Structure 1
Amino acid sequence: MKRYKKIKFAILGYGHIGKRHTDLIVQDPNAELVAVIDIDPFHQENALELKVPLFTNLSEFLNAGIYTDVVNICTPNGLHANQAIECLESHKHVIIEKPIALTKQEALNVQKASIKHRRYAFPVVQNRYSSAIKWVKEILEKQALGEIFMVQLNCFWNRDERYYIPGSWHGSINLDGGPLYTQFSHFIDVLLWMFGDIINISSKFLNFNHEYLTQFEDSGIISFDFKKQGVGILNYSTSIFGANFESSMTIIGAKGVIKIGGQYMNEISYCNVEELEVPSFDSAVPPNNYGAYQGSAANHQFLISNVINVLNGIETPHVNLEDGIRVVDTIERIYTGRIQKEKIGVTNDGFTLYN
């Protein structure tokens, strides 16, 4: 019998999501945390309790000679691709937080390095593990809804001055990229996973209350066709007052209607399909809690487990790198023609001004 190998992980970026990855690795008996890399002194101080070597940059860590199987890339979006390539070239597997890159070409460069050096690059798409989403995927594969007519995806969250704080990478076109990359790429992944690629995209972008906070829109209305069948619309906003409102998907087919709802698209809000009964799901997985705001469902434990099993030859990857590339390509095509705002000054309270 093949011996089960304990997989060694290093965390690159010990912010909110990096801590989430770290907690799951520390709790898993088949995983071992061997290092943390972060440039921020505050994050470094927080990581001291982990009692593992700390590094201030990736090159320093890679040159230290610490045996590592996987590097979890939990840094700002605009750094993901180059850091993933650097790790792959050093013969480390990588887990890449969403999005894997901010352009399709960068994502393809990651794929090229993964193939060349024979190392896995695992994109993080934890919403696929939602019981409600998996169930809808299954009934779509069985064609229980018949021909798909329309799909509407709504993502209405709050991101305000508690999130876009002065000096943060949030709000930067080069490091953040915009709401579709940072907040809603997981839901776009689910859309593509269920219905395939989209074409004939028409995009409208708006900025209701982030004029002085970000270099990009806070809201959008996107219409499109699916390559296979049906039409779709994506409505999104981070201008919701106070707290996240909902992430939902309504599917209208020839044989029925289903709505996946809740704040994090984690429950069946409506189902009217002939001879189809909604099963009882396990308790809803809570969202990633970041204090003043919340993220998507906290399903990262399934990804960590899959990575461990893949590297032990027990499973195949649940999600392929091609899926991560598809998400980046889709968002990039949606954003084609988006106007980037220029920085024009700073307010008295330290917030950057854009026009």
Structure 2
Amino acid sequence: MAEETIKFGIIGLGHIGARHAHMIQTNPGSELVAVADIKNVEDLAMQNFQVPLYESVEEMLMQHSNIQVVCIATPNGYHCQHAIQALSMGCHVVVEKPMALSVDDCDAIIQEAQKRNKRIFCVMQNRFSPPSQWIKSIIDDKILGEIFQVQVVCYWNRDHRYYKKGHWHGTEDLDGGVLFTQFSHFIDMAYWLLGPLAINYSEFSNFNHQHLTEFDDSGQVLFSFGERGKGSLSFSSSLYNQNFESSITIIAEKGTVKLGGQYMNDVVYCDINNYEMPTLRASSPPNDYGQYKGSAANHHFVINEVVNNMNHNSPCITTPEDGRSVVEIIENIHLLKK
């Protein structure tokens, strides 16, 4: 039986939306049908995609009832609204990170999907990186034994080149803060590898973004996991000029490992009892947005997973419950901040 070509629409054609569009058009199992964005065609990269542009979600979906999946790539604060709109009109949704800016909004999306019998695909593309897949496998296979302590470090640059006057970046209601917009991928990595995180302490600072954002740029977090595991998260977007490091160090009963580099995409240390480190596939480069860079360019894995799930009901690496859990962790960090 021939596989069905999955037809996609996109809401929001900024940097991430354009990446979704490119991945959809280069995947042999998918087709980009249309895009919705409030910006004028002159302000968007529409010439790269050659599909109709609409000002509203409703108009796009009414004109193209063959759209099966809608990618939500709008500002964070609109994810819930746009996901529910697409679901209510009969489409499955791919929701960019973060799933939403509150647990309540995540629950509203999940409830609408259940009501309509539709699927939610959450984007946490760092899970597809070869080092991420490797470290997940050695934890699941108990090769490390009990995990005692974990340190997560996220040190990036986001300055005036990113936070521009009149843009949604830097606003409390649409951006939500650096844990949602910059570092949710790495919080997701800790959750994916360790399970539920209990937040014990958090402290925030604003070193050099007082005139750029409505929120703090840096912080320290302490958390617990498992029966007696302890962890810390140190994060900042205040670094000079460029991103420096995203890393996770795991100290365990049978060994110590560290994923590092700028985007947690390199194995920088591995010392495990009676274990030989395998050769891994090369990691994808970071998403390059010109004056700044983001996490790994793994969106092609996301689109391929959606196509396979739609055609074969194959499992997905990230569930809606995972997306909700990451938002809940960030909410709890904010609730405890000093």
- TM-score scaled by structure 2? 0.97
Equivalent positions of 1:283-322 (< 5 A) are 283-313=282-312, 315-322=314-321
Given that residues 287 and 298 in structure 1 are in contact (C-alpha distance below 8 angstroms), is that contact kept between their aligned partners in structure 2? yes
CA contact (8 A) 1:221 1:235 kept: yes
The Cα shift of 1:227 comes to 3.8
Contact 2:246/2:261 (CA < 8 Å) preserved in 1? yes
Q: Is the 8 A contact 1:15 1:43 kept in 2?
A: no
The separation in 2 between residues aligned to 1:158 and 1:25, in whole angstroms, is: 30
Gaps spanning 5+ residues in structure 2: where?
none
In structure 2, the residue corresponding to 1:63 is in which secondary structure? helix
Shift of 1:305: 0.5
Summarize deviations over 1:5-46 as a string: whole Å, max 9, x none. Answer: 000011111110111111111111111110011111266542
Q: CA deviation at 1:200?
A: 4.2
Which position in structure 1 is the counterpart of 2:124? Answer: 125
Aligned partner of 1:169 in structure 2 is: 168
Give the percent of matched residue pairs that are identical in Structure 1 and Structure 2.
45
1:228-239 pair list within 5 angstroms: 228-239=227-238
Q: Distance in 1 between matches of 2:273 and 2:44?
A: 57
Q: For residue 262 of structure 2, what is the aligned residue in structure 1?
A: 263
Residue matched to 1:156 = 155
2: CA distance between counterparts of 1:239 and 1:41?
33
The answer as to whether partners of 2:18 and 2:45 remain within 8 angstroms in 1 is no
Pairwise CA distance, 1:201: 2.2
| Structure 2 partner of 1:343 | none
In 2, Cα distance between equivalents of 1:179 and 1:305: 28
How many angstroms apart in 2 are the aligned matches of 1:43 and 1:61? 19
2-side partners of 1:280 and 1:242: how far apart? 33
Distance 1:265 1:58, change over 3 A: same
- Cα shift at 1:198: 1.3
The one-letter code of the counterpart of 1:236 is: F
- 1:21 aligned residue: 20
Q: Compute the displacement of 1:320 (Å).
A: 1.0
**Which letter maps to 1:207?**
N
Q: In the alignment, residue 128 of structure 2 is paired with which amino acid?
A: Y
Deviations 1:247-289 (A, max 9, x none): 0000001221101111111111011111112211122210011
Contact in 1 for aligned 2:128/2:301 (Cα 8 Å): yes
- Encode CA deviations 1:292-336: one digit per residue, 9 max, x unaligned: 000000111111011001111252222211000000111011111
Deviation at 1:228? 3.6
The letter of the residue matching 1:335 is H
Which residue matches 1:72? 71
Distance change >3 Å, CA 211–CA 90, structure 1 → 2: same
**Gaps (5+ residues) in structure 1?**
340-355
Q: CA deviation at 1:171?
A: 0.3
* Equivalent position SS for 1:11: strand
Q: Aligned runs of 1:42-57 on 2, under 5 Å?
A: 45-57=44-56
1:241 aligns with 2:240: yes
CA RMSD in angstroms, aligned pairs only = 1.4
The whole-number CA distance in structure 2 between the counterparts of 1:99 and 1:12 is 15
**Do 1:104 and 1:325's aligned partners in 2 also have CA atoms closer than 8 Å?**
yes
Give the TM-score taking structure 1 as reference length: 0.92
Which SS does the other structure have where 1:335 is aligned? helix
CA contact (8 A) 1:196 1:228 kept: no
Aligned letter for 1:172? T
